[in-house]
Amino acid sequence: MDGLKRFLDTFFDLPLIGSTLAQLLTEGLLNTLLLAVLASLIGLVVGIGWPPD
Amino acid sequence: MSRLRVVRLPCRVYVDILRGLPHILTVYLIGQGLPLAGLTIFGTWTYGYAGLAIGLMEGAYMAEIFRSGFQSVDSGIVEAARSLGLSHLRTLRLIVVPIGVRRILPALTGQFILVVKSTALVYLLGLAAGQREMFALAQDSAVNNASLAPLVAAGLLYLAITVPLTYVVNAWDRRMREPQSPRRKIRPVRTAEALA
């Protein structure tokens, strides 16, 4: 039971998860989506331009 | 797809190398290698280098997806179009690309899911405070709080993005495999319109 408690305390600290989620939503989500769209556009251009064989 | 060896060879080499290297190594090679070599095409904008690195990696996979999609178009359809008098380019534009793109859309959406997950690699290049994306923020928070819970929070948000996209891909794929409804009217093809 001690092991399970340690695991839950390490990974599932709910107040910390809640505060981090709020920070991620306001700060990190937009940057992640921006990077994903940028990389996808570059990938599409390269992928269309360089079909192998 | 080209018959010219001089075109085909560099494409093959690019796709083989970019698909064969670990993503983490490619991000380092492009994200840190280009500025070190004096090619500061994006200045100090880390996202530009990360976007280029991830884009080049995904481009290699997308190239294979496009190739398989275009080559999956039945040669009989292409020959029929050519026998109607359509040029090679017009056959590509009116027949091969529309059919091929419809077939590869689920695979392309699946590739976008991989891109979203790959964005976490930008963390390797070092980010300023205002530039941090989800994984970098969670990693910094995990260090500051001496807990791995912030990484679980980041994982939940990644799941919130990727799981609905996965279901969209599956539904899309299923819909494309279903035979078309007999009640759906098919617009008659006007040969003169296609040839114009």
Token pair in block for residue A5: 């408690």
Q: How far apart are CA A21 and CA B156, in angstroms?
A: 9
B122 and A35 Cβ atoms separated by less than 8 Å: yes
CB within 8 A of B79, min separation 6: which ones? none
pLDDT value of position B17: 92
User: Which of B49, B145, B152 is the best substitution to test chain A (most A C-beta atoms within 10 A)?
Assistant: B152
pLDDT at B160 over 90: yes
Token pair in block for residue B9: 């060879």
Using 50, 70 and 90 to split pLDDT, how confident is the model at B161?
Answer: very high
pLDDT in tens, B96-153: 888 888 888 888 888 999 999 999 988 888 877 777 888 989 999 999 998 899 999 9
Residues in B touching A22 (Cβ below 8 Å): none
Average pLDDT over residues A42-51: 79
B157 and A29 Cβ atoms separated by less than 8 Å: yes
Q: How far apart are CA A36 and CA B112, in angstroms?
A: 8
Provide the residue type at B145 as one letter.
N
How many other CB atoms sit within 10 Å of the CB of residue B150?
Answer: 27
Question: Residue B109's closest chain A neighbor by CA?
Answer: A40
pLDDT at A36 over 70: yes
pLDDT in tens, B33-62: 998 898 888 888 888 899 999 999 999 999
pLDDT at B190 over 80: no
pLDDT in tens, A3-33: 888 888 889 999 999 999 999 999 889 989 9
Provide the residue type at B31 as one letter.
G
pLDDT value of position B194: 60
pLDDT at B167 over 70: yes
pLDDT value of position B123: 85
Q: What is the DSSP letter of B94?
A: I
Token pair in block for residue B112: 């976008």
B106 and B166 Cβ atoms separated by less than 8 Å: no
What is each CA distance from B37 to B29, B33, B56, B58, B124, in whole angstroms?
Answer: 10, 6, 18, 23, 18
Angle at B83 between CA B77 and CA B85, to 5 degrees: 115
The nearest CA of chain A is from the CA of B160 a distance in Å of 11
Higher pLDDT, B97 or B186: B97
Higher pLDDT, B184 or B177: B177
Q: How many residues does chain B have?
A: 196
Q: What is the pTM of this model?
A: 0.78
pLDDT value of position B155: 94
Question: What proportion of chain B, given as a percentage, has pLDDT over 70?
Answer: 89
User: What angle separates helix B97-118 from helix B149-177, to the nearest 10 degrees?
Assistant: 170
Closest to B125 (Cα-Cα) out of B21, B29, B19: B29
pLDDT at A51 over 60: no
Average pLDDT over residues B7-32: 88
Question: Residue B3's closest chain A neighbor by CA?
Answer: A53
Q: Please state, rounded to an integer, the average pLDDT across all residues of chain B.
A: 85
B166 and B120 Cβ atoms separated by less than 8 Å: no
B46 in contact with chain A, both atoms CB, cutoff 8 A: no
3-state class of B133 per DSSP?
coil
Q: How far apart are CA B163 and CA B169, in angstroms?
A: 10
Interface predicted TM-score of the whole assembly (ipTM), two decimals: 0.85
Token pair in block for residue B127: 């980010």
Using 50, 70 and 90 to split pLDDT, how confident is the model at A1?
Answer: confident
pLDDT value of position B2: 65
B135 and B69 Cβ atoms separated by less than 8 Å: no
Q: What is the CA radius of gyration of chain A?
A: 20
pLDDT value of position B106: 86
